[in-house]
Structure 1
Amino acid sequence: MRKASRLFEIIQILRLATRPVTAAQIAGRLEVTPRSIYRDIVALQAMRVPIEGGRGIGYILRPGFDLPPLMFSIEETEAIVLALALLQRTGDSALRKAAETVSDKIAGAMPAPLRQVLSTDAIYAWGSVMPEPDGIDLAMVRAAIRDEQKLHITYTDEQNRATERTVRPIALIYYSAHSVMVAWCELRHGLRNFRADRVTRGTATGEHFTGEGDGLRKLWVDGWEINKNKFMQ
């Protein structure tokens, strides 16, 4: 086990302990030598993690000390690093900015020596970056989904035909090349997928469809099963 991983695990063990835990007990759980644990305890104390105790009597976290909730394992942290990197490839500038602040908050909640996990260049999300749509703000779409607010859009289909529509957005799908808004279309009286890059204009109407979102999403998901069964027959 790498040292950074051990430091995470030692903190978690001491957080959950109801009595002093000896270096030998910690070493047994982490499959290392007690000598390694002694060195790790010293390193954590140098990071100002308030661990008290000593050899023979065990170690505890100082009473009243509350570690930040963002103490992830190494693999959990790497998963977050990759997820944030993938967000940088979307055409949603608000989400990209949010990804940067999330990374800063996580880094700020970690002891300095462990912060290097977030800044490492060992994990990448490769590929082209999705262009941001010109006609509609994806942050507005996400807000409309949360608030169950109708949108008015001007949409151009594959045949270059433009239509004016009032829609009830229920989901937003991010593909590698473009994003798609799933919505109930009042013009077509059914669920439709709208590519964001084909929306030439989108505005919030101020009208709401309060309480309908979950039912429409269930209808959408049920449609997956119906179509899947058709293909399997």
Structure 2
Amino acid sequence: MRKASRLFEIIQILRLARQPVTAAMIAERLEVTIRSIYRDIAALQAMRVPIEGGRGIGYILRPGFDLPPLMFSIEEMEAIVLSLALLERTGDDELKQAAKRVSSKIAGAVPPPLRQTFDTNALHAWGFAAPSAGAIDLALVRRAIRDEEKLDLSYRDEAGRITQRITRPIALIYYAESANIVAWCELRHAIRNFRSDRIEACRATGLHFKGEGDRLRQIWVDGWETPAAVG
């Protein structure tokens, strides 16, 4: 276990303990030497984490201290960094900007031992990045899914024919080449996938399907064993 992860785990152990915890108990739980725990405790105290106690009597975390709202282990931080990098490969401009803001907020909230995950710039998501969605605003689609609001789509099929669809969007799937809107199509009376690069226009209708989203998603999931129809 790396030092940054140990420091986090030590704080968690002390925060949840109802009585003093000895270095030996912490060392056994984290599978490291007692000497390492003594050094880690000293490092945390130097960072002004209010740990009290000493060798032989155990350690406690002073009442009133708590972890910041955003506190993660080093592995969790690496997962977040890579996930945010993967968002750069989508065609969702709003999500890409949100990812940058999230990265800045987390980097400013976590303590120095964990901040190195952001500072080292060692994790990357490589490969083809999807183009912007073009005629459709994926942020509008995500809001419609959350609010269970119907969308009016002008959709072009494989043959180039354009039809008007009133849809009940229930999910959004990001692929390398495009995004797919999963929705109940009122024209086809079935679940359909709509490729973002074939949508000529999209608008919110102001009409809602409140309370139906979960049921429609279950219908979609139940049909995963058969190929999903497009358009």
| Range of TM-score over shorter length | over 0.9
Q: Distance in 1 between matches of 2:211 and 2:27?
A: 53
Q: Which amino acid aligns with 1:148?
A: E
Dislocated runs of 4+, deviation >3 Å:
none
* 8 Å CA contact retained: 2:4, 2:73: no
Give the TM-score, by structure 1 length: 0.91
**The 10-residue stretch of structure 1 (10-19 or 103-112) with the greater mean CA deviation from structure 2:** 103-112
Q: Which amino acid aligns with 1:12?
A: Q
Alignment deviations for residues 165-203 of structure 1 (CA, whole Å, 9 cap, x no partner)? 211111100112210001111222221110011111111
Q: Give the equivalent residue in structure 2 for 1:54.
A: 54
Once the two structures are superposed, the pairs formed by residues 187-206 of structure 1 within 5 Å of their partners are: 187-206=187-206
Unpaired runs of 5+ residues, structure 1, are 229-233
* 8 Å CA contact retained: 2:77, 2:114: no
Alignment deviations for residues 111-146 of structure 1 (CA, whole Å, 9 cap, x no partner)? 122211233333221111111111110010010011
Alignment deviations for residues 38-91 of structure 1 (CA, whole Å, 9 cap, x no partner)? 211121122221111222221111101121243222222211221111112111
Once the two structures are superposed, the pairs formed by residues 53-202 of structure 1 within 5 Å of their partners are: 53-202=53-202
Q: Give the equivalent residue in structure 2 for 1:11.
A: 11
2:20 corresponds to 1:20: yes
Deviation of the 1:28 alpha carbon: 2.1
Partner-residue secondary structure (3-state), 2:85: helix
- Tell me how many residue pairs correspond in the alignment: 227
C-alpha RMSD of matched pairs (Å):
1.6
Give the TM-score, by structure 2 length: 0.92
Report sequence identity in percent.
71
Unpaired runs of 5+ residues, structure 2, are none
